[in-house]
Structure 1
């Protein structure tokens, strides 16, 4: 019986690996080379315009791709409107943004090559452009995804990593979509750009529960004082501050240097270095990335490509939405 269980597990792993490779093989760099040859330039222009208007939008577009791929795979389900949609899931409501930018990209793409390019592929390209325009690396985005037909609000509530979760919980959510511990740390480095709302981290600043005061063990106390002034206890919880306060909106490895110095804004980020479980899991990678930006960038690119290949719809599955907010009638 013991051998049978081992063999069954091996067969399952092999099957999943084969399915992943098959799906990935259907995504190619030149998928739109004849059907929409100017696609990359069209998307880049729209993303550039959006970031010129609001620098923070780069992080928002990157986050949309991330939050899409963790629910139903990379199928643009996060873009679907409706009260039961992923937009209204707890991790996304009042948080996920950039939908109007995606609309603008889709409109521009449709005017050049109608009914050809999926919203899921637009999210993948926009994420890459956002990193590049923030001073980060470029990579060859594999394309050929199709759009999903349903949103999954309960899946978004369950599957998306949260700002107060432990390393173990976040790692489990990554493993569930085929990503490993290296992917956890490297993709967390996306927090080198963007902002977080006061409501997301205010639990670290004040004694709300009556039992614990400000986070004196994991968060730099000078940073606590500064954040208390920016985010007072009875202030506007939707006010934002930069995730990486050392190099705002610049894609670099300062995020990891912040963690080493106890300056990770989100509790889940600081856990990657300072928690007890980090000692045997994530701390070493944080230190490596903090000391060598090239290693971080290389791992980040690999992880982004890997994440972008999470259960894509290809071939005849799904559809190519005309409007990213609704399924075709």
Structure 2
């Protein structure tokens, strides 16, 4: 059994590598695998070690880091704009718009890389590598992630509106939102699997509970959600979709929950309302290795959205501020 598992994992890596190589050539020909092999050969090792320790100390951080990567890439492209703090040049940065976690974790990873080779590795690449390694720690599989991204100097919360897919979106709007970023319906469904781990606020769930329960929700599950998120309550958080097994484990459990009507977001449940995306969700539920390969390919493809490369942007000394510091 152990040998069979290892063989599957090896096959997965090969599949993911092939898919990622094909995707990166079309998404962003300027990104390269082993980008820092000569300028900072221990960069990815430093990211992996720091990320592994962070998640070992706090297992909830795996989901937080992957979510940061998603938010970064969908708004202004993968340029680490989500990491910028409020400043004179960025008075209303993206991070003010949505409650996110993981900023201090990225700062810790950046410091670990700076200790190895200062001023070489961008925060955008560090976030991409950390998201890849969060997948490894929390999901048990890994894949190659190209590098070469540069850091942007602008972060504006107004850029979020119209860029990020919302949890209340229906499937047609979701497909269009992903298509606007060069991602396919296959990528959409594959990346939806990330909702298998992490937590969410009641405010994202209560619209499905009040004033009337969304009929696509399993009745028993809806009653449990109403207990956790009472109408007019203070908010709080709800364990996300993988509480069947482990809320901190990235897996294909989300697709099983979709089929059972036991997911928190409309954006997940709506996958069943379209024959094509419903079949994709069923395929991902039935074949975890195939889902892993699709997820890996989609992560790499997403990591190529509107990247800054070459002499564009900068390599920030710290991730929360531009080198100009204004």
TM-score by length of 1: 0.86
Q: Deviations over 1:148-189 (max 9, x none)?
A: 111132221221011111111111111111001111100111
2:32 aligned residue: 28
1:284 aligned residue: 279
Give me the whole-angstrom Cα distance separating, in 2, the residues matched to 1:186 and 1:317. 31
Of 28, 39, 45, the match for 1:41: 45
1:259 aligned residue: 258
Work out whether 1:88 is the aligned partner of 2:87.
no
Work out whether 1:231 is the aligned partner of 2:239.
no
Give me the whole-angstrom Cα distance separating, in 1, the residues matched to 2:74 and 2:135. 19
2:15 aligned residue: none
Counting only pairs closer than 5 Å after superposition, residues 166-315 of structure 1 correspond to structure 2 as: 166-207=170-211, 213-215=212-214, 217-247=215-245, 248-273=247-272, 275=273, 278-279=274-275, 281-315=276-310
Work out whether 1:141 is the aligned partner of 2:145.
yes
Call closer, same or farther: CA 1:23–1:166 in 2, change over 3 Å.
closer
Call closer, same or farther: CA 1:22–1:222 in 2, change over 3 Å.
closer
Deviation at 1:298, TM superposition (A): 1.2
Deviation at 1:242, TM superposition (A): 2.0
Of 44, 60, 85, the match for 1:56: 60
Give me the whole-angstrom Cα distance separating, in 2, the residues matched to 1:28 and 1:324. 22
1:72 aligned residue: 76
Q: Name whichever of 66-75 and 198-207 sits farther off.
A: 198-207
1:196 aligned counterpart, secondary structure? strand
Q: Deviations over 1:198-242 (max 9, x none)?
A: 1111111231xxxxx112x21111111111111222323132322
1:240 aligned counterpart, secondary structure? strand
CA contact (8 A) 1:71 1:152 kept: no
2:200 aligned counterpart, secondary structure? strand
Larger radius of gyration: 1
Work out whether 1:115 is the aligned partner of 2:123.
no
CA contact (8 A) 1:196 1:242 kept: yes
Give me the whole-angstrom Cα distance separating, in 1, the residues matched to 2:207 and 2:172. 20
Of 136, 140, 146, the match for 1:132: 136
Deviation at 1:141, TM superposition (A): 0.6
Give me the whole-angstrom Cα distance separating, in 2, the residues matched to 1:286 and 1:22. 25
CA contact (8 A) 1:102 1:123 kept: yes
Q: Deviations over 1:268-289 (max 9, x none)?
A: 111111x3xx23x311101111
Give me the whole-angstrom Cα distance separating, in 2, the residues matched to 1:136 and 1:256. 18
TM-score by length of 2: 0.87
Deviation at 1:264, TM superposition (A): 1.3
Structure 1 runs, 4 residues or longer, greater than 4 Å off = 20-23
CA contact (8 A) 2:27 2:301 kept: no
Of 317, 320, 323, the match for 1:325: 320
Q: Which runs of 5 or more structure 2 residues have no equivalent in the other structure? A: 1-23
Q: Deviations over 1:66-122 (max 9, x none)?
A: 111111111001111124111122xx2x2x110001111111111110000000000
CA contact (8 A) 1:198 1:241 kept: no
RMSD over equivalenced CA pairs, Å: 1.5
1:158 aligned counterpart, secondary structure? coil
Deviation at 1:143, TM superposition (A): 0.4
